[in-house]
């Protein structure tokens, strides 16, 4: 029994088999978190678009029973002023297997730690999957935006995001600094009295499970390459470890053969017989390569912070974070979410682009095997964009665009199904 979550009267849970495949009933219950800021704008539009696509694709045979669950500011209003991520929300995400969320606010400097990161860590959603591709007609700063077609596998459970940080001047920061100096011989902390300290855990286990998913994705989707993005020249044991362990996965688990003595290697795709090139790139150079030579990159495997930067940078190449979807996944549980944040200045104004959350829902439908409904959403969005009927973010970059509101864009997508 839940305290504030109301389970719908109709519908069943999605369940997971031992091999992690899903049993999806005809009327699955799917939990959703509305989110803070523009969550109130994009959330309802996404729900309407998905319902319309499912109705159109399956003529009433299939239907989603949405179940609102709570996090962020809305949770504090319901559960108490300090309850940002109620235990029953985590439980529902676990129990119902597939869910979707809007953005959640994280204050800078003080205040609560990220609820987004907490959801990922507490549910061990270790893959942050962010596909980036261009839709015809979307305004882009690139001359050839269609050449950007990548899928980011961002490690979602480790790195600087673990939140092991101590404030400058605090007793714990001082204790840790003294330990580093006295016990570990560190002489490199430039201003020990006024330093804040953060710890960056990166493990072989965390790297291996992420890279395994990335290479398997390349195999299943017939992709030409997997690029390991890291800053291992500077952070030798964390980011450098990530690179070395990633190559180990390619060789030891997928039979990768070294090219010219390595470390690049070639994995034979058992499904197609084609080669998958496994290579690496140092993160700063990678950020210029994706602008200058995007066609050379396909599947990207990277650490948590790099993945955060790279996903917004790549989104900009194909229209911005207003249209960039994503998912947080473990082997069994998947939580879909927009790549963008709460954009507070636009909250409640019905102006932002709901495309990112709609496309995250499209990924969700595909994950459930409801590919016909997913296909309808893609085709309808393409038509809306081709007709230049777009929200402000695209309209300001397009000639002769017809600017529409967030909710109207959703209606146009539905009309085009």
Ligand X SMILES: O=C(O)CCC(=O)C(=O)O
Ligand Y SMILES: NC(=O)C1=CN([C@@H]2O[C@H](COP(=O)(O)OP(=O)(O)OC[C@H]3O[C@@H](n4cnc5c(N)ncnc54)[C@H](OP(=O)(O)O)[C@@H]3O)[C@@H](O)[C@H]2O)C=CC1
- Count the residues of the shown chain that bind ligand X, applying the rule CB under 6 A: 6
φ and ψ at 264, to 5 degrees? -60, 145
Q: Which of the residues 161, 217, 247, 297 is marked catalytic?
A: 161
Tell me the window of 103-111, 148-156, 174-182, 222-230 that interacts with ligand Y (CB under 6 A).
Answer: 103-111
114 binds ligand X (CB under 6 A): yes
Q: 208 among the known binding-site residues? A: no
Q: How many helices (H) and strands (E) does the chain have?
A: 13, 18
Q: 341 among the known binding-site residues? A: yes
Q: How far apart are CA 352 and CA 1, in angstroms?
A: 36
Tell me the window of 129-137, 188-196, 252-260, 336-344 that interacts with ligand Y (CB under 6 A).
Answer: 336-344
- Count the residues of the shown chain that bind ligand Y, applying the rule CB under 6 A: 18
Q: Which of the residues 231, 247, 297, 393 is marked catalytic?
A: 231
Binding mask 339-368 for ligand Y (x = CB under 6 A): -xxxx--------xx--x------------
Q: Which of residues 243-302 bind ligand X (CB under 6 A)?
A: none
- Smallest distance, ligand X to C-beta of residue 340, A: 8
Q: How far apart are CA 186 and CA 183, in angstroms?
A: 8
117 binds ligand X (CB under 6 A): yes
Q: What are the angstrom distances between the C-alpha of 400 and each of 148, 363, 383? A: 25, 31, 16
Q: Using CB under 6 A, pick the residue from 89, 105, 121, 317 that binds ligand Y.
A: 105
Q: Which of residues 306-345 bind Mg ion (CB under 5 A)?
A: 308
304 binds ligand X (CB under 6 A): no
- How far from the centroid of its chain's Cα atoms is residue 92's Cα? 20
Nearest CA among 21, 91, 88 for reference residue 332:
21
Q: Where are the alpha helices (DSSP H) in 157-281?
A: 171-182, 204-220, 239-254
34 binds Mg ion (CB under 5 A): no
Sign for the pseudo-dihedral over CA of 272, 274, 280, 284:
negative
The residues near 344 (Cβ < 8 Å, ≥ 6 apart) are 37, 38, 105
- Smallest distance, ligand Y to C-beta of residue 393, A: 4
Q: So which residues are the catalytic ones?
A: 161, 231, 284, 308
Binding-site residues for Mg(2+), in ranges, read 308
């Amino acid at each position: 029994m839940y305290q504030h979550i109301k389970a719908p009267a109709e519908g069943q849970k999605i369940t997971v088999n031992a091999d992690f495949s899903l049993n999806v009933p005809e009327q699955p219950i799917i939990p959703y978190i509305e989110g803070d800021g523009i969550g109130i704008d994009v959330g309802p539009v996404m729900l309407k678009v998905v319902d319309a696509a499912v109705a159109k694709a399956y003529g009433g045979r299939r239907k989603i029973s949405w179940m609102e669950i709570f996090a962020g500011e809305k949770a504090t209003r319901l559960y108490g002023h300090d309850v940002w991520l109620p235990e029953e929300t985590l439980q529902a995400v676990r129990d119902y297997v597939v869910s979707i969320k809007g953005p959640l606010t994280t204050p800078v400097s003080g205040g609560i730690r990220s609820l987004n990161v907490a959801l990922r860590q507490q549910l061990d959603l270790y893959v942050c999957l962010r596909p980036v591709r261009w839709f015809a007609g979307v305004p882009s700063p690139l001359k050839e935006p269609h050449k950007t077609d990548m899928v980011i596998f961002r490690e979602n459970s480790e790195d600087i995001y673990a939140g092991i940080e101590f404030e400058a001047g605090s007793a714990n920061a001082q204790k840790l600094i003294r330990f580093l100096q006295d016990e570990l011989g560190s002489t490199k902390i430039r201003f020990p009295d006024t330093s804040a300290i953060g710890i960056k855990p990166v493990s072989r286990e965390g790297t291996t499970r992420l890279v395994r998913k990335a290479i398997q994705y390349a195999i299943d989707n017939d992709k030409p390459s997997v690029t390991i993005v890291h800053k291992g020249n500077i952070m030798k044991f964390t980011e450098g470890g990530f690179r070395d362990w990633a190559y180990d996965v390619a060789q030891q688990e997928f039979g990768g053969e070294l090219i010219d003595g390595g470390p690049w290697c070639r994995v034979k795709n058992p499904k197609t017989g084609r080669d998958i090139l496994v290579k690496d790139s140092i993160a700063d150079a990678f950020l210029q390569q994706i602008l200058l030579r995007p066609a050379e990159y396909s599947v990207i495997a990277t650490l948590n912070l790099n993945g955060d930067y790279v996903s917004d940078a790549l989104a900009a190449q194909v229209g911005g974070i207003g249209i960039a979807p994503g998912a947080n996944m473990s082997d069994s549980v998947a939580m879909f979410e927009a790549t963008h944040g709460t954009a507070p200045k636009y909250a409640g104004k019905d102006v932002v682009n709901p495309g990112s959350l709609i496309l995250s829902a499209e990924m969700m439908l595909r994950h459930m095997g409801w590919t016909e409904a997913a296909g309808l959403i893609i085709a309808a969005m393409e038509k809306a964009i081709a007709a230049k009927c777009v929200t402000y973010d695209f309209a300001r970059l397009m000639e002769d665009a017809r600017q529409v509101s967030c909710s109207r864009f959703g209606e146009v997508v539905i009309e085009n199904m």
